């Protein structure tokens, strides 16, 4: 606002309403940011646990596969693997975490019975154990993909919300309050000038 502009009382009232609204929005955004951060750390903990579980399941599946390779030839195991024709189906929906839509995978059905795997009854129990072990690994990977994707989306939302909070706290609200103080000062000066003029007019009459 320049020095030549004569502010009005209504402009000051309107600006104070905007400041109040900005502060209300600031408080809401802070609560959202803090809530998102709490959710993020909960998910981060889950991600770490899932990664550890994937490593353990993979080690177990690898041991079972090595056992199967001792009992069966590599050629037979490859033939059995090629006989598996149906890939697992995953239904992906969404869920809302404080306004952020993140992936939500329904019931995961990767593990199958021997008959449903597609290679019939021409395999040993060791091959079935190996297949089951790797199915568990796939299940964990799918779950980890869901959780990690949600975590990345939350992180992006946290960064965006933090920028908005900082903009309100350090730029928008201070600038508006500075303008409000300036208007208030100009109005007070104008009122003093009016009082002074009225006194001079009374002295002349």
Q: What is the pLDDT of residue 175?
A: 96
Q: How open is the CA angle 8-14-17, to the nearest 5 degrees?
A: 145
Closest CA to 12 of 148, 138, 186: 186
Token pair belonging to 153: 């989306």
24-38 pLDDT, tens digit each: 999 999 999 999 999
Q: Is residue 8 part of a domain?
A: no
Q: Is residue 121 part of a domain?
A: yes
Q: Is residue 183 part of a domain?
A: yes
Residues spanned by the domain of 188:
15-197
Give CA–CA dist 165/146, Å, rounded. 29
pLDDT over 50 at 2, yes or no: no
| Residue at token pair 């050629």 | 75
Q: What is the pLDDT of residue 118?
A: 66
170-201 pLDDT, tens digit each: 999 999 999 999 999 999 888 888 888 887 77
Q: Is residue 178 part of a domain?
A: yes
**Domains of the chain: total:** 1
Q: Considering only residues 109 and 74, tell me which one the structure prediction assigns the higher pLDDT.
A: 74
Q: What are phi and psi of 97, to 5 degrees?
A: -115, 100
Q: How confident is the model at residue 108 (pLDDT cuts 50, 70, 90)?
A: confident
Q: Is residue 88 part of a domain?
A: yes
Token pair belonging to 86: 């149906």
93 neighbors 104 (Cβ within 8 angstroms) = yes
Q: Is residue 58 part of a domain?
A: yes
Q: What is the pLDDT of residue 46?
A: 94
Q: Is residue 65 part of a domain?
A: yes
Torsion of CA 124, 129, 134, 135, to 10 degrees: 100
116-158 pLDDT, tens digit each: 676 665 568 888 899 899 999 999 999 999 999 999 999 999 9
Q: What is the pLDDT of residue 150?
A: 93
Q: Which domain CATH number covers 109?
A: 1.10.287.3240
User: pTM of the prediction?
Assistant: 0.77
42-89 pLDDT, tens digit each: 999 999 999 999 999 999 999 999 999 998 888 888 887 777 767 777
Q: Is residue 7 part of a domain?
A: no
pLDDT over 60 at 107, yes or no: yes
């Amino acid at each position: 606002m320049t020095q030549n502009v004569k502010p009005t009382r209504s402009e000051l009232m309107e600006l104070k309403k905007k400041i109040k609204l900005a502060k209300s929005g600031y408080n809401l955004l802070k609560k959202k940011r803090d809530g998102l951060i709490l959710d993020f750390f909960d998910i981060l903990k889950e991600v770490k646990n899932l990664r550890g579980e994937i490593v353990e399941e993979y080690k177990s599946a690898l041991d079972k596969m090595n056992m199967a390779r001792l009992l069966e030839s590599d050629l037979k195991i490859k033939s059995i693997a090629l006989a598996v024709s149906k890939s697992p189906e995953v239904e992906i929906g969404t869920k809302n975490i404080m306004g952020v839509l993140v992936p939500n995978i329904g019931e995961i059905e990767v593990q199958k019975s021997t008959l449903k795997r597609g290679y019939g009854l021409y395999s040993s129990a060791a091959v079935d154990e190996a297949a089951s072990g790797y199915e568990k690994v796939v299940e964990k990977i799918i779950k980890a993909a869901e959780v990690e994707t949600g975590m990345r989306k939350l992180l992006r939302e946290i960064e965006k919300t933090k920028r908005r909070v900082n903009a309100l706290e350090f730029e928008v609200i201070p600038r508006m309050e500075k303008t409000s103080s300036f208007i208030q000062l100009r109005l007070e000066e104008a009122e003093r000038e009016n009082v002074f003029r009225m006194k001079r007019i009374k002295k002349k009459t």
